Each structure stands twice: as C-alpha cells, then as structure tokens.
C-alpha cells in the first residue's frame, strides 16, 4: 500500500488510497499510535530484551506441544 504525507499550514495530511481495506487503515492507525507512544517511552534496551525473552518463553510454554512430532522439531 502506498500513502502520501503532506504538510499544510496547520496540519499534516496522511492520504491512503481509496481502495485501502479497513485492515490496512487500522494498521496505519496502529503504526501512528505506536510511534506516538514510543516518543515518550523511557524504557532501556535491556528492559526490551528482558520483555522479549519473557514473552518468548511464555509463548513456547503454551505452544510447544503444537510442534512435538513435527519433522525437524528438536526439543
């Protein structure tokens, strides 16, 4: 999907194609929200790494059974 960003006197316009799906529009809104939240974030890279590790461990704990018995999966 292509989009256009224009700067006007008192606003910034983000234009999406008319054929954009609701999911594409929502993804763009989510990205903008993510960027907005990230600007005021004071989290360190170490905290990000720890959160990623915890999330990965939790996910594997909940989903590991789905991969057992699949060719190439090693425990």
> pLDDT digits over 40-61, tens only?
778 888 998 999 999 999 999 8
Which one has a higher pLDDT value, 41 or 22? 22
Q: What is the pTM of this model?
A: 0.49
pLDDT for 72 equals: 84
The whole-angstrom separation of Cα 69 and Cα 51 is 29
Task: For the chain, give every domain's residue range.
Answer: 4-63
Work out the pLDDT band at 19, boundaries 50, 70, 90. Answer: very high
Q: Which helix (H) or strand (E) holds 6?
A: strand 4-7
Radius of gyration from C-alpha coordinates of the chain: 20
| Nearest of 2, 34, 38, 37 to residue 20 by alpha carbon | 2
Decide if 38 contacts 50 (C-beta within 8 A).
no
Residue length of the chain: 75
The pLDDT tens digits of the residues spanning 62-73 come to 988 888 888 888
């Amino acid at each position: 999907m292509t989009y256009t960003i224009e700067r006007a006197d008192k606003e910034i316009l983000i234009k999406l194609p008319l054929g954009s799906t609701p999911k594409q529009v929502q993804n763009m809104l989510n990205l903008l929200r993510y960027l907005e939240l990230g600007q005021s974030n004071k989290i360190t890279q170490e905290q990000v790494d720890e959160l990623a590790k915890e999330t990965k461990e939790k996910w594997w704990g909940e989903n590991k059974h789905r991969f057992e018995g699949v060719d190439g999966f090693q425990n």
